[in-house]
Amino acid sequence: MRQVPTVKLLIGGEFIESTTTEWRDIVNPATQEVLARVPMATVAEVDAAVAAGQAAFQTWRHTPIGVRARIFLKYQQLIRENMKEVAAILTAEQGKTLADAEGDIFRGLEVVEHAANIGSLQMGELANNVATGVDTYTLQQPLGVCAGITPFNFPAMIPLWMFPMAIACGNTFVLKPSEQDPMSTMRLVELAIEAGIPPGVLNVVHGGEQVVNAICDHPQIKAVSFVGSTRVGTHVYQRATLSGKRVQCMMGAKNHAIVLPDAHKEQTLNNLLGAAFGAAGQRCMAVSVAVLVGEAQAWLPELVQRAKTLTVGNGASSGTDVGPVISCAAKDRVESLIAQGEAEGAKLELDGRLPALPGALKEGNFVGPTIFSGVKPGMAVYEQEIFGPVLCVAAAATLDEAIAFINANPNGNGTSIFTQSGAAARRFQEEIDVGQVGINVPIPVPVPLFSFTGSRASKLGDLGPYGKQVVLFYTQTKTITERWFDDSSVSSGVNTTISLK
């Protein structure tokens, strides 16, 4: 029998085998091949990872900024050199196409490049002469051990949103990757160690609920970054803030795209399809609802027609547009939501259940592009984040009606508008109550010069990942108010007022 490899923990610079008795298979979602086994780490192993981070923090926090920056310069080079290898691992365990896997890594690589710029990011402020002979300045000091909990859908990008910026700021880190696809994350962690991250500065534990709860409760963890579903994120936020931590949770979504009749038709339809069905709809910024305004409603048949041309298959095969969803459970859930959509009166324009596939893929978790029209609030396909290749189409008479429709949805992750009218786009950007807005851009995930800014039910906590905001998240601002006496200073006696004179 083939020996299945095991995924290691990283504690204090050593890749070690967990002592747990609880393991879970990592399965290729296109073929059901078992690729490896991942441990559900013990609480003692979480404690050991945090202790390693706490010990390493004592020296890492004083490591010069240039030394920290150079590690990330080296790291970005190593990621580039190993891009194809990491992408192949990612596609095998997650299912997305190889090109999209490279995109997943690339969007994380951009954050690593940003972390290499920490010298100009982690700067304080100074005000000269705030009172006579008095200056005030700020320090942005690292917090200590920080932790990150990541979802299955971006096993490269999202871990790279977290530990590079936290570590570049002078913190140490405990990462808990998704237990569904931790292998590509681990390859990126190996490269980070190769780039020179010292022992204990980056640690990794694997697991599910028990490990996450241990992270939330641990008294020596100062901050937690979470990306995942709204249900789990809300739990993490409540539990970790209760134990006094800083917490940022990026959570679930239902992203709408408005299509105005003056939009560039060809570009719009292609953009909508790519954003709805790319990564089999398993992106937190996927377009899952298209709101066709006025005469744009006549574009529906062409949208459906084009969706039929997408190729469903193994993400590792060239020519595939839509890979499998992550698990059998995810496939069952998507299929049952499609059935529910029909039962609740939405019109099934394109049914992606049971796509025709070659024999080798018969067991895979495939659902093809699916489109519903006539979708209304109250229907399960509208109320729930399906997280599969299902596009809901709704109709609106005017732009204002479309904006009101979106603002009535509780989620606030992303939205976009397709139009050639600057005035309409500007009205949309001003009135829409969603954190990330695209104008003729279907998936407006900001580059790391900015921060990820999901809002409302899609986010808990004030500061977003990467960009400038995350430097504030991963540091404590200290203000120093300073006065130096020189020999010519004349004491004016005791001052019992609060004013600085």
Residues 245 and 216: their CA atoms lie apart, in Å, by 8
Residues 168 and 118: their CA atoms lie apart, in Å, by 6
Give min distance, CB of 227 to ligand NAD, in A: 5
Q: Specify the residue, 96 or 176, whose C-beta has the smaller distance to ligand NAD.
A: 176
258 binds ligand NAD (CB under 6 A): no
Two structure tokens written together for 370:
């699916």
Q: Specify the residue, 104 or 321, whose C-beta has the smaller distance to ligand NAD.
A: 104
Choose among 500, 448, 480: nearest CA to 124: 480
Active site positions, annotated: 284
Q: Are 274 and 307 in contact (CB under 8 A)?
A: no
Q: Are 140 and 475 in contact (CB under 8 A)?
A: yes
Two structure tokens written together for 29:
């979602």
268 binds ligand NAD (CB under 6 A): no
229 binds ligand NAD (CB under 6 A): yes
Give min distance, CB of 248 to ligand NAD, in A: 10
Q: Are 367 and 334 in contact (CB under 8 A)?
A: yes
209 binds ligand NAD (CB under 6 A): yes
29 binds ligand NAD (CB under 6 A): no
HSE at residue 87, side-chain half, CA atoms within 13 A, is 21
Q: Which stretch in 127-135, 162-170, 452-460, 483-491 sits in contact with ligand NAD by CB under 6 A?
A: 452-460
Give me the 303-332 binding string for ligand NAD, x by CB under 6 A, dash otherwise.
Answer: ------------------------------
The contacts of residue 266 (CB under 8 Å, 6+ apart) are: none
Give min distance, CB of 443 to ligand NAD, in A: 11
Choose among 93, 112, 89: nearest CA to 162: 112
179 binds ligand NAD (CB under 6 A): yes
Give min distance, CB of 139 to ligand NAD, in A: 30
Q: Specify the residue, 122 or 416, whose C-beta has the smaller distance to ligand NAD.
A: 416
Interface residue with ligand NAD, options 35, 212, 457, 463 (CB under 6 A): 212
Give min distance, CB of 207 to ligand NAD, in A: 7
What residues from 381 to 440 belong to the interface with ligand NAD (CB under 6 A)?
Answer: 385, 387, 413
Amino acid at 432: I
Q: Which stretch in 133-141, 251-259, 288-296, 467-475 sits in contact with ligand NAD by CB under 6 A?
A: 251-259
Q: What is the DSSP string of 298-353?
A: GGHHHHHHHHTTSPBS-TTSTT-SB---S-HHHHHHHHHHHHHHHHTT-EEEE--S
Residues 331 and 345: their CA atoms lie apart, in Å, by 22
Q: Specify the residue, 168 or 250, whose C-beta has the smaller distance to ligand NAD.
A: 250
458 binds ligand NAD (CB under 6 A): yes
Exposure string for 216-248, b = 16+ CB within 10 A, e = fewer: bebeebbbbbbbbbbebbbbbbebbbeeebbbb
What residues from 356 to 385 belong to the interface with ligand NAD (CB under 6 A)?
Answer: 385
What residues from 482 to 501 belong to the interface with ligand NAD (CB under 6 A)?
Answer: none
Q: Are 392 and 375 in contact (CB under 8 A)?
A: yes
Q: SS3 for 130?
A: strand
Q: SS3 for 183?
A: helix
90 binds ligand NAD (CB under 6 A): no
Q: Which stretch in 12-20, 95-103, 144-152, 193-201 sits in contact with ligand NAD by CB under 6 A?
A: 144-152
Give min distance, CB of 387 to ligand NAD, in A: 6
Residues 153 and 161: their CA atoms lie apart, in Å, by 13
Give the interface with ligand NAD as residue ranges (CB under 6 A). Answer: 149-154, 176, 178-179, 208-209, 212, 227-229, 232, 235, 250-253, 284, 385, 387, 413, 452, 454, 458
